[in-house]
Amino acid sequence: MQNFSFNNISDIKAEEKRLHDEYMQKLSELKALQKSKESSGQIFTKGLLPIYVLHILTKGHANGNDISQKIGHRTNGLWVPSTGGIYPLLKKLEKEGFVMGIWDDPKKKFQKFYSLTPKGQNEYIIRKDLMKPRIEEALKVFKIIYKDIYL
């Protein structure tokens, strides 16, 4: 711990201002880091999560936890979306008629398992075709940026 010796009130005020400025700078850096994490997370959540959820459901029915775990397993733990993002997406897809949810026990409503509808299967094919060039382009951009920054 530092040992401070202040001769007068102006020294105290100057140190107080310095500490406040240092605090504000650190806070700004933390906010920028958080915003960066959130924006990179949105690439996955808003762009890739819907198509990947549909893809997983082409393999069979699953609940939100299963979907999150399957994505985590397939990506070797690099991307494990929260169920807080998956369940609202499933609800939206259900409202649009792309998936159908069935409760494991209609009386208790403990777990809801989702499966693709025929409309959802068609939507998956359409989105898959639309997303392919976008994903390929994003990969190229990421490789260029990675090379520029790190190599």
For residue 92, the domain's CATH number is 1.10.10.10
Instruction: Summarize the confidence of residues 63-88 as an average pLDDT.
Output: 93
Structural domains in the chain (count): 1
Question: What tens digit of pLDDT does each residue of 103-144 get?
Answer: 988 788 788 999 999 999 999 999 899 888 888 888 899 899
Give φ, ψ of 141 to 5 degrees: -65, -45
Any domain includes 31: no
Domain interval for residue 139: 42-150
Predicted local confidence at residue 40, as pLDDT = 42
Residue 94 pLDDT exceeds 90:
yes
In a domain, 25, yes or no: no
Q: Name the residue with higher pLDDT: 30 or 74.
A: 74
- What pLDDT is attached to residue 41? 44
Q: Tell me the pLDDT tens digit for each residue of 41-74.
A: 445 556 789 999 999 999 999 999 999 999 999 9
pLDDT at 83 over 80: yes
Half-sphere exposure at residue 8, Cβ-oriented, CA atoms within 13 angstroms: 1
